[in-house]
Amino acid sequence: MAKPWMIITGATGLLGGQLVRMLRKEYRIIAIGRRTPADSGVPEGPGIEWFRVDIGQIEPLRQVFSRIRDLGGAEVLLHMAAFYDFTGEDNPEYKRTNIEGTRNVLALAEPLKLRRFIYTSSTAACPFPPPGQSVNESTQPAADFPYARAKRAGEAMMREWADRIPTCIVRPAAVVSDWCEYPPLMEFLQAWCSRSWNSRILGGRGESAIPYLHVEDLMSFYLRVVERCDELGDAEVLIASPDGSTTHADLFREITRAAFGRPRRPVLVPRVIARPGVAAREWLGRRTGHMPFERTWMLDYVDLRLDVDASRTRVRLDWAPSPRLHVLSRLGAMIENMRAHPDEWRLRRARRRPSGMAGLPGAPPNRAVALYRPSGGDGEQPLEFGEDL
């Protein structure tokens, strides 16, 4: 019996690419992404139909879904495609890709009669809870910054469409691998493993905290969601995260222990002192064109904790993250990869760029749509249409 088809949007991203690798054993994959498989290091070959398309462009996407119907449709759609950045600014890509693009995918997927449309949101869409409390599956996605607002709109669409398409909502923690690939943690690793001026600096009391999840745990999570998709409720919320959170102080201790043989003592900088320095560097960056990673908006979250209680999801899916993959246990492997394989480290950092950067000022030119069909593993056979971005 032929394996069923599964659609994965954002298939050239870190998460989508890993899902293509893992799920191709059980499904034939319809992979939708904004880059080529070669550009993103994602596999090709028999059993994978590649569609290079911008989900924010409805007409090219319509042609892709026409091709999917010709293939016989699909059982499950994993919607991973999204734009993100850490500037704190309201980039129009949040609306065009994350909101309008999601609406486009929903509308075109409706005739396929999917078993489940699985939408990837984020724990970051939830507001930081009061001290001593945690966010859970019932927490409303009410955080007020551009990425969170876009995810809130996406979750609202899942509820709106639930009577036409069976949907569910996955809120992952910040996802890392042994190559890190999560930009804030990459910045911490490179600074705290160095001898530079900021190698010991921690903002506030070092109590800023979010949850982290290793990509291998997230892959097992999605596999369990797919296996149990017929048992889920309409627009049900699931949290892919360990309980609690990991503080900057915890990260600093373990990073410096792994890098220098013993933990270093941090220099704690109160927010009121840090703000003028961060603002000055940001002002200079805007004038020189070399923006620092740290932005003033980040200071609003100093010493806040995004603690998570995912106990209901664990029971629902009979799933739990592996202790050996906890972020504090993987920091040594990350540092080893950063030091021993600097070229690969830089390459992966470049690949982790936000997917919605294509077509924005200063971004490399890209092709709006191209179809890649399996060619027996001997390369790709592109059928291009659309316009250059």
| SS3 label, residue 28 | strand
Tokens 């200063």, located at residue:
362
> Is residue 338 domain-shared with residue 233, that is, in the same domain?
no
| Structural tokens at position 132 | 């001593």
| Structural tokens at position 324 | 């050996």
> Is residue 286 domain-shared with residue 162, that is, in the same domain?
no
How many Cβ atoms sit within 10 Å of the Cβ of residue 36?
18
| SS3 label, residue 371 | strand
By C-alpha distance, which of 363, 309, 355 is closest to 54?
355
> Is residue 27 domain-shared with residue 117, that is, in the same domain?
yes
> Is residue 121 domain-shared with residue 161, that is, in the same domain?
yes
Q: Report whether 29 contacts 46 (CB < 8 A).
A: no
> Is residue 182 domain-shared with residue 229, that is, in the same domain?
no
> Is residue 168 domain-shared with residue 234, that is, in the same domain?
yes
The set of residues, in sequence order, having a beta carbon less than 8 Å from that of 187 and lying 6+ positions away, is 293, 294
Question: Structural domain of residue 276, as residue ranges?
Answer: 178-210+246-304+327-349
Which CATH number do you get for residue 38? 3.40.50.720
> Is residue 118 domain-shared with residue 15, that is, in the same domain?
yes
325 to each of 17, 83, 253, 289, 332, how far by Cα in Å? 19, 26, 18, 38, 12
Stretches where the chain sits below pLDDT 50 are 353-389
> Is residue 135 domain-shared with residue 259, that is, in the same domain?
no
Which CATH number do you get for residue 182? 3.90.25
> Is residue 172 domain-shared with residue 195, that is, in the same domain?
no
Tokens 């939408």, located at residue:
119
Q: Report whether 92 contacts 360 (CB < 8 A).
A: no
| SS3 label, residue 116 | strand
Distance of CA 150 to the CA centre of its chain: 14
Angle ∠(12,15,16) on CA atoms, nearest 5: 45
By C-alpha distance, which of 355, 315, 330, 357 is closest to 15?
355
Helix (H) or strand (E) holding 185: helix 183-192
Q: Residue 357: its pLDDT value, please? A: 29
How does pLDDT run across 275-332, given as a tens digit for each residue? Answer: 999 999 999 999 999 988 889 999 999 999 999 999 999 999 999 999 999 999 999 9
> Is residue 91 domain-shared with residue 165, that is, in the same domain?
yes
The total number of structural domains in the chain stands at 2
Q: Residue 2: its pLDDT value, please? A: 77
Pairing of strands 236-240, 167-172: parallel
The set of residues, in sequence order, having a beta carbon less than 8 Å from that of 37 and lying 6+ positions away, is 12, 31, 43, 44, 50, 372, 380
Locate the DSSP E strands across the chain: 5-9, 28-33, 48-53, 76-79, 116-120, 167-172, 174-176, 201-203, 209-210, 212-214, 236-240, 246-247, 267-269, 367-373, 381-388
How far apart (Å, rounded) are the C-alpha atoms in residues 17 and 21? 6
How does pLDDT run across 246-262, given as a tens digit for each residue? Answer: 999 999 999 999 999 99
CA atoms within 13 A on the CB side of 375: 10
> Is residue 225 domain-shared with residue 188, that is, in the same domain?
no
| SS3 label, residue 125 | helix
Q: Residue 14: its pLDDT value, please? A: 81
> Is residue 184 domain-shared with residue 89, that is, in the same domain?
no
pTM: 0.88
Q: Residue 351: its pLDDT value, please? A: 59
